[in-house]
Structure 1
Amino acid sequence: MDVKYNEIGAGYSLTRQADPYLTERILYHLEPQNSKLYLDIGCGTGNYTCALANKGLNFIGVEPSERMLIEAKRRNQQIEWLIGTAEHIPTENKIFDGIIATLTIHHWTDLKKAFVELNRVLADNGKIVIFTSTPKQMKGYWLNHYFPQMLHSSIIQMPSLSDVQEAIKQTSLEITDIEIYCIEDNLQECFLYSGKNNPDRYFNELLRRGISSFSSLANIEEVKQGLSKLKSDIDNQSFESIKDRYANELGDYSFIIIQKKVAH
């Protein structure tokens, strides 16, 4: 994971709030119990950690950015917040019955090492719920039309499903389900493709600042030109035809469900 979020931590939680629907899907796939302990890896300012804790669940948040954790602690002092990464989790073995990772896997520096570490801290039969986007899905974003260099930089850092499969081979982990997610109009969390159906969102500088692709991977001039072209296309009513070119059935993001299998 990248400590670049120390730089964009200010105001992050204003645009990156836990979405109720995504929270419910995480709950559905995680199947948590109130008596068990769970981990939010790469928890950021604790959006989903807090949302799930508010439902009576016991969560620990692990995050490499001190600035993010300051905000997380401010929001909920009852939760234990730890500095750490997917590759180095400062806890004992097999203490978590489930792990969630929302829009963070692309920040992991070593995928194989990360899954070995997650396997270490996950209890037998425990689940990992990863919310992410795949390179194939991202190639279907209409953002490619306006910000091609930025999207290219975003896509190449994103692990594919085959990358995940390869990374977990040396562990007891196994992918058991994949559920695709398509952006809904009432989405409350403003991550990269949140403006799929509401392109005006991208004109909000605060929103862009909370998206790592815009804040860390983008060329300022490309963003300026892309936004100008996007505004022009919206104004002359040609945007919808451009958006339609990118229509596909791959979904925009994915829930990847992984379970720790125990040999009998």
Structure 2
Amino acid sequence: MSIKNNQIEINYNQTLQADPYLTEQLIKHLNPKKEGLYLNIGCGTGNYTNALYDKGFQCVGMDPSIEMLKQALSKNRNISWKIGSAERTDLPQNSVDGVFSTLTIHHWANLVQAFSELAYVLKPQGKIVIFTSTPKQMKGYWLNHYFPKMTEGLIAQMPTLERIEKAMSYSGFKIIKTKSYTIQPDLENHFLYCGKHNPEVYFDDSIRHGISSFSNLTNMEEIELGLATLKNDIDDKKINDVMKSYENNLGDYLFIIAENSGENPL
């Protein structure tokens, strides 16, 4: 049982606000220019598109959901919001100076087709910055202990770094850098592992409903059981042992920065 898509989209807009540090990192890795044009693929309700716009950069926000884009448009009518996907943007060749995507690559149906399309619309030597998590990293989330079916389903969706690199290479991209990101206690963006240091946030219905993994991949029985167990473990201080058992040095998420060689085989 899951909540309706329009409720997901409403909560998504309320809880997935752009985090200042992650915005800084996107800008650092993308290295945008004031005169350039930058495509945010899978922009959702446009929080990171707006964050870059507020820093003075011209952006196009693209998403397959008309409901998401309606909310994005209501927040900023100065940005060009377009229906589309990574596999089909309908943008002209060499029309954007950079591409960025946050926590959406696992929704792309065909990585080779997607990167080939993005290489087509991206100018030669233009950068693409992907913010995602890998299956290896996600296996290190203590959420696995309380919501095993949810995390198992999501991990199965996540492309490995090797798959991403292979698809990028085939499409004319070259990875120039990867950088892991570890959740900080002051994180303002309420995505899946936002409660790493503060488990209590998962008791907030609005936060859970804004996280698609909880809404789409988990049945109510697992949610209720997992939350009840989590509450008991917090009360009994057992949560500290659970969290410690999942400590690792892989980081929680990953920035993948690549450059378009201009030699797209497709």
* TM-score range for the pair, normalised by the shorter chain length: over 0.9
Map Cα deviations across residues 16-55 of structure 1 (whole Å, 9 max, x no partner).
Answer: 0000000000000000000011000000000000010011
Indicate the residue corresponding to 1:177 in structure 2.
Answer: 177
Q: Report SS of the residue matched to 1:24.
A: helix
Aligned partner of residue 32 in structure 1, secondary structure = coil
The Cα of 1:5 is off from its aligned counterpart by 5.5
Note if contact 2:106-2:158 (Cα within 8 Å) is conserved in structure 1. yes
Alpha-carbon distance in 1 for matches of 2:168, 2:100: 16
Instruction: Assess if the C-alpha contact under 8 Å between 1:94 and 1:124 holds in 2.
Output: yes
Match runs of 1:207-222 below 5 Å:
207-222=207-222
Give the TM-score of the pair, scaled to structure 2.
0.96
- Which aligned pairs between 1:120-135 and structure 2 lie closer than 5 A? 120-135=120-135
Residue type at the aligned position of 2:101: A
- In structure 2, stretches of 5+ residues that fail to align are none
- How big is each residue's C-alpha offset from its partner over 1:135-186, in whole Å with a ceiling of 9 and x where there is no partner? 0000000000000010000000001101101212322201110000000000
CA distance in 1, matches of 2:218, 2:115: 29
Partner Cα separation in structure 2 for residue 178 and residue 81 of structure 1: 29
1:92 aligns with 2:119: no
Q: Does the 8 Å contact 2:16/2:189 carry over to 1? A: yes
Question: Relative to structure 1, is the Cα distance of residues 5 and 97 closer, same or farther in structure 2, using a 3 angstrom cutoff?
Answer: farther
Task: Quote the Cα distance in structure 2 between the aligned partners of 1:5 and 1:250.
Answer: 33
Alignment of 1:60-71 (within 5 A): 60-71=60-71
Shift of 1:11: 2.6
Counterpart of 2:189 in structure 1 is 189
**Residue of structure 2 equivalent to 1:255:** 255
The answer for the alignment partner of 1:167 in structure 2 is 167
State how far apart, in whole Å, the 2-side matches of 1:123 and 1:208 are.
Answer: 38
Equivalent pair of 2:153/2:217 in contact (CA under 8 Å): yes
Is the 8 Å Cα contact of residues 174 and 261 (structure 2) preserved in structure 1?
yes
Residue segments in structure 1 that go unaligned for 5+ positions in a row: none
Aligned length: 260
1:178–1:256: 8 Å Cα contact kept in structure 2? Answer: yes
> Shift of the alpha carbon at 1:112?
1.0
CA RMSD of aligned residues (A): 1.1
Could you state the TM-score of these two structures normalised by the residue count of structure 1? 0.96
Distance 1:17 1:152, change over 3 A: same
CA deviations on 1:183-212 (whole Å, 9 max, x unpaired) are 000000000000000000000111011111
Higher relative contact order (CA 8 A, sep 6+): 2
Q: Which residue of 1 aligns with 2:53?
A: 53
* Percent of aligned pairs sharing the same letter: 50
Please tell me the residue identity of whatever aligns with 2:39: L
**Which consecutive segments of 4 or more residues in structure 1 shift more than 3 A?**
4-7
